[in-house]
Amino acid sequence: MLTTLRRIVLEFSQEAELQVALERIVTSVKKAMATDCCSIYLADYHHQHFLLMASDGLAKGSQGQTCIGFSEGLVGLVGQREEPLNISDAQKHQDFIHAPEVEEDEFNAFLGAPIIHQRKVIGILSVQQKKSRHFTENDEAFLVTLTTQLANALANAEIKRLLNQQEEINQGVKQLHGIAGAPGIALSEIVVCQPQADLAAISLKKSDDTKNQLFRYEQAVEKTRQEFNVLSSKLSETINDDSLAIFDVYKQLLEQASLGQEVSAKIAEGWRADSALKLVIEHYISQFEALEDSYFRERASDIRDLGTRLLVNLQHQSKEDLKLPPKFILLAQDVTASMVAQYQHQGLLGIISLSGSNNSHAAIIARSLGLPAVMGVNAIVLSQLHHKQAIIDGYSGQLFINPNETLKQEYEYLLNQEEELTNKVMEVAHLPCITQDGRAIEVLLNAGLSAGFEHSAKLGALGIGLYRTEIPFMTRNCFPSEQEQTQIYRKVLQAFPNHGVTMRTLDVGGDKSLPYFPITEENPFLGWRGIRITLDHPEIFLVQVRAMLRANQGINNLEIMLPMISSVEEVDDALRLINQAFFELKAELTTDIAAELMSSNSKTKLTLEQAQQKAEAISATLTRPKVGIMLEVPSVIFQMEALAKRVDFFSVGSNDLTQYLLAVDRNNSQVANLYDSFHPAVLTALHSLAKQSAQYLTPISLCGELASEPAGAILLLAMGFDKISMNGHNVPRIKWVIRHISFEQAQSILEKTLTLSTTKEVHSYLNTQLEALGLGGFIRAGF
């Protein structure tokens, strides 16, 4: 029986046409169960009925025509009860409805099972028999097992069927769904951008002329580097933030010390240049795509973009310019940062990417440019959408093809509202983030070398609340040196000379393994990661801390933050290493400076005593920074007093704290809907952390998605958080919200929110309160 089940499911999933697959499955099930009839119905939630899609036994003319309401008949009853229904004489059942067109008068026994995908009934599979009888337990078990296995395949197949209907796209409005990549609305014509080269199509071949192959590759590298320089220069005319650093990363990867060295090594082994490029790029892509963390998984797109551009130049392909209308929306299988840079001066209003997420560099740059973006819109035939009119909603992730006049008018009205709101919030960008009754809260940036460092004078952030240091480690083929790290960190610290910059020490492991330091674990989120790795490898930790301290010399705005702390012992061990690095570096600097001042090459040669005094004065500019910890593991909730005695500040990582408290992997689509930072348990935990921090006189901040939502910011303000940290584009909006509410109102909202029992109640109440405060325009954005 198991073999039969597997065969039926495999045949279904391998069939390209959904209707053919459905017809095949009813025939296969009818034969396997030795029944007289098998039928499959699919749910239509728009019309609130089940539609008979395929049957082996019912009238052929009824397929695609017969509809049964969600609350009608035995099929509707199966859907309502969400469990199998086994009836010996169906026509005598009180819920049976007679439908002459299906010609089922001869059938009596009925067994139906719901097809459920992510808690939603998407169809009904039923079998019928002429003889009145109860189907056996084995029959019922077979049908239930089959529907369970079919659910995911059927859900995906139904989505493809709906999205690929050329007739619907040509004749009427089509609504598609993706991931909200960058906020905003755009109404315009779609322009499809197809890749100019395909690494996957390259056949692996070798060549005896290694010298010529290496020369071809070096020429392609130089041409690609020049292209990235041009793109970066053009983009910098519009934005001035570190989202541009992706082009620096591209150029670093091209250098001989990184990706370029690996390609050269493959060429030296005898591979053709294009084959060597394919081997190296695909190896990098597979490593990044295997990571659990969605942000780092998106880096595979950047590597693919780099490889494609190198291949284009390696093959000397001419870059044909797209024929662009004055205004357009760019659509591609994988919209990349370089595509956005290439077209942003040519009338680009928004982007649609069939792959990727809000962590992709295309989405990051789109947010910096104020371009709406919808990512991850699957199962679209690109050629069908070229030159189609569309609306993209970067707030909800919705995409409308061929919108009618009514829909256009609705979105034009929303677009006007959005422009007015944007103008309003930018008016307060440089004003203090303070409530109407004088309560202040600092708004900071979440940042990383090539993602999220979206600082601009226009945004009004006071500093960096979370600087991710992982990227320099991810984009190399070995651990970066102390000097390399120092240069990177100093650039960031200099961007905010008068405000604090909180740098998180290396947070990799398990789900974010390095190409040269692979880690394989069954459960990476509960495994060897964060501070656990760096304490086990003090040589890595000490080099990074020394680089941070060197970078901070003379600026003195550094704060060091330790990730994934779960015990007091980890803090003690980390502080010991930080102190060791500080005193060793201070002594080293004093010695080096004194020796230099006393050397014969020095312009003002000093005595030993004079040199020593001056060296000590210079080395005094090396100061020990404040050290804090991230509160993201639930165990810290119960160790706050002991931790407060050891550190200078706390910072809540609300994303991971939510994940651990709710036991939900937010990257797992099966349970992602359970992940919600407004869950009552999460809010209660945050309130407890804030109260304990105040009790122990330790500053506390929060960096996570909750801080960038208006309702979340209001709750955090009321709880007593001193700082909140978020992506740059949300800073002025959150400032506007805080400046248009009193602390007393925020406390009242918090008090009521903490009495609510469900996430749904929390969202409903908070939305009502935002409306009452005149902040309803921010609800739709879902910041």
- pLDDT tens digits for 666-709? 656 567 678 889 999 999 999 999 999 999 999 999 998 899 88
Q: Lowest-confidence range among 405-414, 587-596, 653-662?
A: 587-596
Clarify whether 763 is annotated catalytic.
no
**CB contact at 8 A, 367 and 729:** yes
- Of 37, 38, 193, 703, the active-site residue reads 703
**Under 8 Å between Cβ of 101 and 66:** yes
Band (457; pLDDT cuts 50, 70, 90): very low
Q: Enumerate domains of the chain plus CATH numbers.
A: 2-163 (3.30.450.40), 171-193+322-407 (3.50.30.10), 199-314 (1.10.274.10), 434-507+537-592+625-778 (3.20.20.60)
Task: Please confirm, yes or no, whether 361 is among the known catalytic residues.
Answer: yes
**What percentage of residues in the chain have a pLDDT greater than 90?**
40
Distance CA(237)–CA(246), nearest Å, equals 16
How far apart, in whole angstroms, are the C-alpha atoms of residue 228 and residue 339?
A: 11
Tokens representing residue 104 in the block: 């089922």
593 contacts 587 by C-beta, under 8 angstroms: no
Which of 49, 361, 687, 729 is catalytic? The answer is 361
What does the alpha-carbon distance between residue 763 and residue 750 come to, in Å, rounded to a whole number?
A: 12
Burial 415-445 (b: 16+ CB within 10 A, else e): beebeebeeebbebbeeebebeeebebbbbb
pLDDT band, very low/low/confident/very high, at 167 (cuts 50, 70, 90):
very low
The radius of gyration computed from the CA coordinates of the chain, to the nearest angstrom, equals: 30
Other Cβ atoms less than 10 A from the Cβ of 59: the count is 16
Q: 3-state DSSP call for residue 57?
A: coil
Looking at residue 170, its pLDDT comes to: 41
The residue that leads in pLDDT, 695 or 774, is: 695
Nearest to 624 by CA among 573, 561, 556: 556
Instruction: Note the pLDDT of residue 556.
Output: 93
Q: Residue 284 corresponds to which tokens in the numbers above?
A: 């990098």
Q: 455 falls in which pLDDT band (50, 70, 90)? A: very low
Q: Is 16 a residue whose pLDDT tops 60?
A: yes
pLDDT of residue 166: 39
- CA pair distance 564, 512, nearest whole angstrom: 14
Rounded distance between C-alpha atoms, residue 371 and residue 394, angstroms: 9
Among 333-337, 475-479, 485-489, the range scoring the smallest mean pLDDT is 475-479
* pLDDT surpassing 60 at residue 655: yes
Please tell me the total number of residues recorded for the chain in this structure: 783
Higher-scoring residue by pLDDT: 560, 243: 560
Both structure tokens of 511: 């789900």
Per-residue pLDDT for 305 more than 50?
yes
Write out pLDDT tens, residues 388-406.
889 998 888 888 888 888 8
pLDDT reading at 152 higher than 80: no
Please determine, for residue 452, whether its predicted confidence score (pLDDT) is greater than 50: no
User: What average pLDDT does range 26-50 have in this prediction?
Assistant: 91
Q: Are 156 and 122 contacting, i.e. CB atoms less than 8 angstroms apart?
A: no
Supply the pLDDT for residue 700. 97
Q: Which of 357, 315, 368, 310 is nearest to 335 (CA)?
A: 357
Phi, then psi, of 93 in degrees rounded to 5: -75, 145
User: Quick check: 435 pLDDT over 90?
Assistant: yes
Report the range of poorest mean pLDDT among 141-145, 295-299, 656-660: 295-299
The predicted structure's pLDDT at residue 165: 46
Q: Contact at 8 Å (CB) between 334 and 304? A: yes
Q: 122 — phi, psi (to 5°)?
A: -105, -5
Phi, psi of 151 (to 5 degrees): -55, -50
CB-based burial, 643-662: b 16+ in 10 Å, e otherwise:
bbeebebbbbbbbbbbbbbb
Print the SS3 string covering 357-379. CCCCHHHHHHHHHCCCEEECCCC
**Average pLDDT over the chain, rounded to an integer:** 83
CA 633, 638, 639, 641 torsion-angle sign:
positive
When pLDDT is cut at 50, 70 and 90, the band that residue 563 belongs to is very high
Name the residue type at position 719.
Answer: M
User: Could you tell me which of 151, 79, 74 has the C-alpha nearest to residue 118?
Assistant: 151
Each residue's pLDDT tens digit, 485-530? 999 899 889 888 888 999 999 987 645 566 666 666 566 567 777 8
Greater model confidence, 515 or 102: 102
Residue 644 has pLDDT above 90, yes or no: yes
User: What's residue 169's pLDDT?
Assistant: 41
Per DSSP bridges, beta strands 120-129 and 109-117 are antiparallel
